[in-house]
Amino acid sequence: MAWAFVLLCAVATSATAADGDASVRRALQQATSRSAPTQVDARAVEALSFRRDPAVSARVQQETIRAFGRNPQQVADLEKVIGSGKMLREFDRILRRYGYDPTNLSDVLAAHLLISWEVANDRDSRQSPAGQRAVRRQLIGPLAAVPEIAAMTNADKQAQAERTAYLTMVSALTYQSLKRSGDRQALDALSANVRQGLLGNGVDLQRLALGDGGLVAR
């Protein structure tokens, strides 16, 4: 359970790390204010896709370990769960199960939103496969329309996607570990931290419902 405590600390200290600028907040609010469109804009997909560069991955991996590790033991624990590459591979596997592309920034952010919703509400999105698929359609158009995002370089998109992937998996793994241990107090703290992280982007996860149209404000 030592690694789970490290990850819980990481979520707590990164609760506001997802705070974005006003244009990104507006895009997320727009996306969750209405049901997903039936089709995905191919130009938006192309604009937010990236090719992975191993050098960028290695840099983000070490940045993440340094950001989350507060002492040598925590750094060692994080090297095991992040430095091995297993965490990013597991994230990719989850995205492909949803029908998402792990080399598309919008799909990564959609997965972050969906998994954060699960943690904040103690829910399982697998009960709504159509809803899982819809969330990516909700986000990709509004995000591609943000000039700062559309102008990102390949390396910038990759770095942002992989930082988001680690934060998402930290939340998910901590949530799963605490569920197994039955630690209700720690689960409530985790839920509050994850919810606070998205509130910085103007999205209240506890006011969203997952259905065939995606994650829509109740």
The burial of 189, by beta-carbon neighbours within 10 Å (0-12 exposed, 13-18 middle, 19 or more buried), is given as: middle
pLDDT in tens, 117-165: 999 999 999 999 999 999 999 999 999 998 888 889 999 999 999 999 9
In this structure, is residue 3 part of a structural domain? no
In this structure, is residue 88 part of a structural domain? yes
Domain limits for position 41: 16-217
The DSSP 8-state label assigned to residue 37 in this structure reads P
Kindly tell me if the per-residue pLDDT of 12 is higher than 50. Answer: no
> Which residues, 6 or more positions from 104, have their beta carbon under 8 angstroms from its beta carbon?
45, 48, 49, 50, 140, 161
In this structure, is residue 190 part of a structural domain? yes
Q: What is the pLDDT of residue 10?
A: 47
The rounded Cα 167 to chain-centroid distance in angstroms is 6
> Which residues, 6 or more positions from 178, have their beta carbon under 8 angstroms from its beta carbon?
4, 8, 186, 187, 190
Half-sphere exposure at residue 42, Cβ-oriented, CA atoms within 13 angstroms: 0
Q: Domain tally for the chain? A: 1
Q: Could you tell me if 60 and 91 are in contact, meaning their C-beta atoms sit under 8 angstroms apart?
A: no
In this structure, is residue 36 part of a structural domain? yes
The burial of 184, by beta-carbon neighbours within 10 Å (0-12 exposed, 13-18 middle, 19 or more buried), is given as: exposed
Q: What is the rounded distance in angstroms from the CA atom of residue 6 to the CA atom of residue 1? A: 9
Mean pLDDT of the region 205-211: 95
In this structure, is residue 102 part of a structural domain? yes
Q: What is the pLDDT of residue 4?
A: 45
Kindly tell me if the per-residue pLDDT of 92 is higher than 90. Answer: yes
The band of 16, judged by pLDDT with boundaries at 50, 70 and 90, is: very low
In this structure, is residue 60 part of a structural domain? yes
In this structure, is residue 2 part of a structural domain? no
Kindly tell me if the per-residue pLDDT of 47 is higher than 80. Answer: yes
Q: What is the pLDDT of residue 86?
A: 86
Q: What is the pLDDT of residue 21?
A: 65
In this structure, is residue 10 part of a structural domain? no
Q: What is the rounded distance in angstroms from the CA atom of residue 168 to the CA atom of residue 115? A: 7
Kindly tell me if the per-residue pLDDT of 62 is higher than 80. Answer: yes
Q: What does the mean pLDDT of the chain come to?
A: 86
